[in-house]
Structure formats: C-alpha cells, structure tokens
Amino acid sequence: MIAEATHIDQRLEPLLREVSDPEIPVLSIMDMGVVRYAQLEGEQAHVKITPTYSGCPAMDVMSVEIKAALQEAGYDAEVELVLSPAWTTDWITPRGRAALEDYGIAVPLEADADKSALMGGKRIVECPQCGSKNTKVVSAFGSTACKALFQCEDCLEPFDYFKCLK
Amino acid sequence: MAMQEDLYNYILGVADNSLILGQRLGELCGHGPSLETDIACTNISLDLFGQVRSYYQYAAKIKGGEETEDTIAFLRKERQYRNILLVEQPNENFAYVIARACYFDLFHELFLLELMKSTDETLAAIAHKSIKEVRYHKLFSTEWVKRLGDGTEESQQKMQQAVDDLWPYTEEMFLPAQVEKKMAEAGIGVDIVKLKEPYYRSLTQLLEEARLRVPDNQYFQKGGKQGIHTEHMGYILSDMQYMQLAYPNMEW
C-alpha cells in the first residue's frame, strides 16, 4: 500500500498517457498525477496508481483501462492500488490544469487555496468561463468526490471546482 | 498469531464505525432536504466506504483464506459488528443527521491524527489518506451545527433536540475495548482515552458558538464495541446485506 517516489518507465509513459479519467475524459491519468509507478520487465508491466479520494469509483475503471491499453501494446499489466503517499491536488500537472480549465473545471491554484476558498472566506477561485474571481461556493460537495460546486456572480454560470486536497 | 488476530479485530472495530455511518448517510440518497445537502451526505458516505474498503482489504489479507472485503462487510451477524451505537442511530431529521455526523467527525479527525503515527505502515497510510477527506466532512457538519443552532427558532429547537438525544452516545468513543487497549500499548492502535478531553473541549466550544446548550446528562450508553447494539442495527443490516444474502457469491 506504500509507493516509492514516482517512477515511470519511459516505454510505458506514452501508453499510459492515452488513458483518461472516465469522469473527466479530457484529463489523462498521467496529468492527474494518479500514476505513481510504472515499470516494464520483459512483457510484464507493473503499475501503481493512487486514488484521488478513497471512495473514487473511477479507480476500478482506470485500472481496467490501463490493463486494456497495455495489453494492446502486447504487455501483460498488473495494476496495484497504493495509498501512500496520499494524493494531493499539487500532483496535477500544468498540462492537466490547462485541460481541466478548458473543460470548464476550475483548479486549485495557490497553496492557500484550500479550505478558505470552500468556506467562502476568500474569493480566489476563477470562473473557467469568464475569468472573473467574483465567484461563490454553492456546495463543498459536487458531482464527484473530487469536486465542489461553484457559481460565477458575474456571468452567473455554475461550474465545478477541483477540490483542493493537501 | 494472537497478535494478528488482535490486529484483525482492531481494524474491524475501527472500520465498522465508518461502514455503518456511511450506510446511514447513504440512506439519504435522493432524500436529502436539498440537492446540495443530499449530494454532500452521499459524497461523505462514499469517502467513508472508500476508507472502509482499505481497512477491510487489509483485514482480509491478515486473515487469509476465503475472507474478502465483501464477506467482512456483508456476511457478518449483528453481534459481530463492533461499531459504536452513535453511528447506527436513525436519520430522524436533518438535525439528527448533522448532530450524529458532527459528533463522529470531531472524533474521527482526532483519531486519524493519532493513527497516522501508528507503527503499522498500512494503518498509517490509510489514516494519512483519510484525514484529508475527513476534514471536509467535519467542515460540513460543524458548519451546519452553527447554521441550524444559530438560525431560526425552529431550527435552533430541532438542533438542540438532536444534540441532546444523541449526547448519551458520545462517551462510548472513548471507552476502549480490550483489543483497543492492547493495540494502543503495542503502538499500533490509538489511545482513545487521551482523545476524550480535547474532544469535549472542542465540542463544547462549537456548541457555544452555535448558541446551543451543552447537555449536562452524565448517563451514557455503550455496548456497540462488544456487539450489543440498539434495535436499529438489525434493520440497517437487513437493508445492507439484502443483495449478498439473496444472491450468494454475487459480484459486481
């Protein structure tokens, strides 16, 4: 259940990049930071992934899709779920952030973006539609475990905010 | 070997609380008082189930044989569940849902902070993962305690009622079962007795902030950790275990 620091075999990297989060199809699992380890030994690939939230139902799907993607390339994959170190929103890559924002999901930015943003204390979450920071939290719990529901007070559009987890 | 057996029992005791609370919160799916609170309660339920799966998978590994996370969750008899009585109390109304959640979340955070220091690597890892989620749970429940307590006359009255009615179930959290004592001594488990003082201190502070009266009832209920549950438990299990009992060995 414990994974060492990230290690990704360069031969597997492009294959894993093709796998996306089933609930956020624009986001590769590599950019989401859930793949912690990938190593090829002969035909056998060992992959370790970590959940964003403990109960994330997408993990099983990701595991199946990783196996399918690697199988297509002729590898037999073994996917293990690890819990430590625990995932943090800091592991979303800059490319992942850009993809999420294009998709209409705001991303936690600053180090202090965590709970103050969700408590409505500070208005720091930018609307992915119009860029305004005049936004308010509607609910700290959103459409999936990893998201909160926000609304922009300027363009009035509701949007998802990728809940900060540190 | 005895140590492994103790560890197994300890893990079940810890996880059963989250399983039953998760089940209670899950009952609100489609029945929450508003869309947002409905989603919040079921999201919290999902987090708890995720944590429970990690614990049960570990327990199943320790036990070996035919045991799986599913058999642990679904195929035990009422007396074999070791959850505290608090988490099995019904969703009388939203104030009860919130009071029960808040009573547990305050404890859960303190508990995980200690479990993070466990000498058992897996338990420490689960605790590190879970605490990030539990902090959100606590935010949700404590904010609602304040909103309802310091709200209208009606919400204040209902919140007070729930706080009073569930109060007798709080102390059990700090009464260690035999196995909890052993595990705490071994540096694996949490010394829950130590958590009692900070728990009641922060709870008192919260209730005062919410303009609620701190109950002075000193008569507390217990028994869940020994498998002696309130009458609600059987109903929860008959709901929860229905599929597995009606269709033995089913898998998703």
**A136 CB within 8 Å of a chain B CB:** no
Give B51 to chain A, closest Cα distance, Å: 6
Q: Which residues pair with A152 in a beta bridge?
A: A135
Q: Give the closest residue to A50 by CA, choosing from A165, A163, A140.
A: A165
The dihedrals phi and psi of A120, each to the nearest 5 degrees, come to 75, 15
Question: Considering only alpha carbons, which residue of chain B is nearest residue A53?
Answer: B47
Name chain A contacts of B143, Cβ cutoff 8 Å.
119
B71 vs B59: CA distance, rounded Å: 11
Name every chain A residue with its beta carbon within 8 A of the beta carbon of B139. Answer: 115, 118-119, 140
Span A132-144, pLDDT tens digits: 989 888 888 888 8
Taking CA atoms, what residue in A is nearest to B61?
A: A1
Distance CA(B234)–CA(A26), nearest Å, equals 45
Gap between the terminal Cα atoms of chain A = 19
pTM of the model: 0.91
CA distance B43 to chain A (A): 6
Contact list in A for residue B132 (CB cut-off 8 A) is 86, 88, 165-166
Q: Is B34 helix (H, G, I), strand (E, B) or coil?
A: coil
Walk along chain B (252 residues) and give the pLDDT tens digit of each residue: 688 999 999 999 999 999 999 999 999 999 999 999 999 999 999 999 999 999 999 999 999 999 999 999 999 999 999 999 999 999 999 999 999 999 999 999 999 999 999 999 999 999 999 999 999 999 999 999 999 999 999 999 999 999 999 999 999 999 999 999 999 999 999 999 999 999 999 999 999 999 999 999 889 999 999 999 999 999 999 999 999 999 988 876
d(CA B110, CA B234): 29
By C-alpha distance, which of A162, A101, A145, A148 is closest to A127? A101
Which of A64-78, A145-159, B221-235 is the least confident region? A145-159
Quick one: pLDDT band at residue A23, thresholds 50, 70, 90?
Answer: confident
Name the residue in chain A with its Cα closest to that of B123: A1
pLDDT of residue A120 exceeding 60? no
ipTM greater than 0.95, yes or no? no
